[in-house]
């Protein structure tokens, strides 16, 4: 079994001709969060993926094998809930409120200017409907946000077709009391 152990985020600048010739592997969100798994390529070969723990594969990433072969990652369509403002009396701000409430529950959310996607959950769907949002079942690639402390590598935004690089460094001036905990669980002081 061929082993793939390196990730090139969004192809890492590889030529389009190389990417077009590379086989692909179609993976749902649950698998793309794992660091070790077997998968079947578009050519029917079973391969092993063994990447660093904590890495998340995104649609458009390229895996590199120990022999230097390439494998394109495709985000598989999967069941999702599409959340939109109510057509009759909703406002775009309703999506911000929904994202806030879902975030408080640590739910993976894909954010777009017009809708949110989450994995199917009837309890959350009922909560969102009570907030006067429209919740519909859909089949779509699921690319949730990685979070403020998550993966900061470049990734493709499927709905915009452009790459954003979230890597940056700057200092933040934080005026706060000594010894309290932040949301990430780290004490400062």
Per-residue pLDDT of 26-48, as tens digits, reads 999 999 999 999 999 999 999 99
Residue 89's pLDDT is what?
A: 86
Beta-carbon contacts of residue 134 (< 8 Å; ≥ 6 apart):
83, 84, 85, 86, 87, 90
- What are 125's two structure tokens? 């769907």
Domain ranges of the chain: 2-75, 77-141
Question: Over pLDDT 70: what percentage of the chain?
Answer: 77
* Whole-number pLDDT of residue 160: 37
What pLDDT score was predicted for residue 87? 87
Note the CATH number of domain 2-75.
2.60.260.20
- pLDDT on residue 92: 79
pLDDT value of residue 150: 53
Asked if residue 6 has pLDDT above 80, the reply is yes
pLDDT of residue 94 exceeding 90, the answer is yes
Confidence at residue 36, expressed as pLDDT on a 0 to 100 scale: 97
The rounded distance, in Å, linking the Cα atoms of 181 and 112 is 31
pLDDT at 147: 65
**Mean pLDDT of all residues in 123-146:** 95
Closest Cα partner for 124 from 147, 145, 106? 106
> CATH topology of 2-75 equal to that of 77-141?
no
Q: Residue 144 pLDDT > 60, yes or no?
A: yes
For the residues 75-102, what does the mean pLDDT come to?
Answer: 93
pTM over 0.85: no
Query: How do strand 2-8 and strand 46-50 relate by DSSP bridges?
Result: parallel
Q: Domain 77-141 sits in which CATH superfamily?
A: UreE, C-terminal domain (3.30.70.790)
pLDDT for 146 equals 82
Average pLDDT over residues 140-160: 60
């Amino acid at each position: 079994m061929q082993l793939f152990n390196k990730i090139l985020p969004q192809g890492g600048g590889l030529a389009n001709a190389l990417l077009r010739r590379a086989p692909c592997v179609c993976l749902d969100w649950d698998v793309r969060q794992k660091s070790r798994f077997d998968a079947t390529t578009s050519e029917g070969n079973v391969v092993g993926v063994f990447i660093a723990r904590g890495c998340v594969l995104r649609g458009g990433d390229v895996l590199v094998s120990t022999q230097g072969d390439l494998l394109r990652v495709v985000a598989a369509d999967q069941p999702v809930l599409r959340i939109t403002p109510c057509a009759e009396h909703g406002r775009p701000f309703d999506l911000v409120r929904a994202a806030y409430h879902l975030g408080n529950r640590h739910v993976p959310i894909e954010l777009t200017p017009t809708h949110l996607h989450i994995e199917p959950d009837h309890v959350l769907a009922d909560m969102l409907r009570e907030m006067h949002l429209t919740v519909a079942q859909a089949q779509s690639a699921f690319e949730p946000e990685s979070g403020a402390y998550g993966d900061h590598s470049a990734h493709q935004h499927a709905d915009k077709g452009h790459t954003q690089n979230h890597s940056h460094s700057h200092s933040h001036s934080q005026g706060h009391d000594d010894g309290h905990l932040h949301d990430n669980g780290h004490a400062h002081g």
